[in-house]
Amino acid sequence: MPQLPEGGAPDSGPQPLPAARLAGVPARPADAPAGLADRYGRRATDMRLSLTDKCNLRCTYCMPAEGLEWLAKQAVMTGEEIVRIVGIGVNLLGVRELRLTGGEPLVRADLADIIGALRQAHPELPISMTTNGVGLDRKAAALKAAGLTRINVSLDSLHEETFTKLTRRPFLDRVLAGVDAAWAAGLGPVKLNAVLMRGINDAESPSLLAWALERGYELRFIEQMPLDADHGWTRRNMITAAEIRELLSKEFVLSPDPRARDGAPAERFEVRRRTAGSTDPDAAAGSDGPVLGTVGIIASVTEPFCSDCRRTRITAEGKIMSCLFSREEFDLLGLLRQGASDEQLAERWQDAMWLKPKAHGMDHVGLDAPDFVQPDRSMSAIGG
């Protein structure tokens, strides 16, 4: 992996640093737009920051059964370092929203302190968190009090056996208690993330949606991406967005949500219950009763939204990733620990984002072919 050049030593004060480069790609020009701009006219304003690579579940589409080798504690950003990096993003680079993720953010003992410090520094910043929900029942109220705005909980099945098969842990009850507690604590709108796996939980998708709608949760189905540590992903086996729409249309009528998508990864649909006897998949909106809520479909593989991507990612060990599928990452934390100034760190971040690829290329043919190279990092090690 290319690494950024070293910065000035703490005792000598920050020295000018050469630009972050990738072989064959022109460096960011002096007249590049402000903020986290790239070569293709996009600007990242949505920051995903991983708090840890550790996790207490072993979802088959993410982690191997035996887990991964965790980062050493000293390699992971401290709370203070996180607050400084977020501050640079918000104050110098135009970041407008923050999502905390992992690994599993709830396993960090200082989570509420980190959120409290971020909130104090940025009273208006939307701060959300993606979690597997284990232990959230005990922590939701404290996280809300610390300043967390909203929560996403991953929930792939409501059946104990299926949940346990997918996550390799028998924790469904704890996750459901966590979802309820998040709602009760005022961390809504609560969004639920589900990855469908063929022959395991795909048939359950309409009942999962019905359950979410009844409770006022917004369910989003995510196409499985080739980011599992086991490298078991195949295009043939993944459930596509088209299949998800077809599965749901057995019980519901979906019509495009009139609200603007506005760079969101999920395509949203308004949901109505399909009336008995109505099988027309294109039944006109309104012909099947009132809108019950919305559902999102994140079609990263088959209907990618790279041209409108607004994300910048920081891994738990402080590396900048411009894309989930980047094969390049740039070390921000190392520079910070060597004494770089906020301005120098901001410049490195801009350099790295300038190199963001145009698209991840997953939608192209040949993912199952030998020439497709899956990224080294699994989803848990990037921060999904």
Q: Which residues bind ligand SF4 (CB under 6 A)?
A: 55, 57-59, 62-63, 102-104, 132, 154, 379-380
Give ∠ CA 100-106-109 in degrees, rounded to 5.
110
Nearer to ligand SAM, 152 or 344 (CB): 152
User: How many CB atoms are closer than 10 A to CB 78?
Assistant: 15
Distance of closest approach, residue 149 Cβ to ligand SAM, in angstroms: 16
Which entry of ligand SAM, ligand SF4, none binds 225, CB below 5 to 8 A by partner kind?
Answer: ligand SAM
- Long-range Cβ contacts of 2-5 (<8 Å, 24+ apart): 2/328, 2/330, 3/330, 3/331, 3/334, 4/330, 4/331, 4/332, 4/334, 4/335, 4/348, 4/351, 4/352
Report CA Rg, the chain. Answer: 21
Closest CA to 52 of 110, 97, 128: 110
- Strand-pair partners of 195: 222
- Candidates 199-207, 224-232, 279-287, 367-375: pick the segment binding ligand SAM (CB under 6 A): 224-232
379 binding ligand SAM? (CB under 6 A): yes
Distance of closest approach, residue 125 Cβ to ligand SF4, in angstroms: 24
350 binding ligand SAM? (CB under 6 A): no
Distance of closest approach, residue 279 Cβ to ligand SF4, in angstroms: 35
201 binding ligand SAM? (CB under 6 A): no
First CA to last CA distance, the chain: 20
- In the three-class reduction of DSSP (H, G, I as helix; E, B as strand; rest coil), residue 282 is classed as coil
297 binding ligand SAM? (CB under 6 A): no
The one among 14, 102, 116, 304 contacting ligand SAM by CB under 6 A: 102
What single letter denotes the amino acid at residue 141? A
Number of residues that bind ligand SAM (CB under 6 A): 20
The one among 45, 52, 60, 131 contacting ligand SAM by CB under 6 A: 131
Cα dihedral 246, 309, 125, 293, rounded to 10, equals: -10
Which entry of ligand SF4, ligand SAM, none binds 58, CB below 5 to 8 A by partner kind?
Answer: ligand SF4
Residues that bind ligand SAM (CB under 6 A): 55, 61-62, 101-102, 104, 130-132, 154, 193, 195, 222, 224-225, 227-228, 379-380, 384
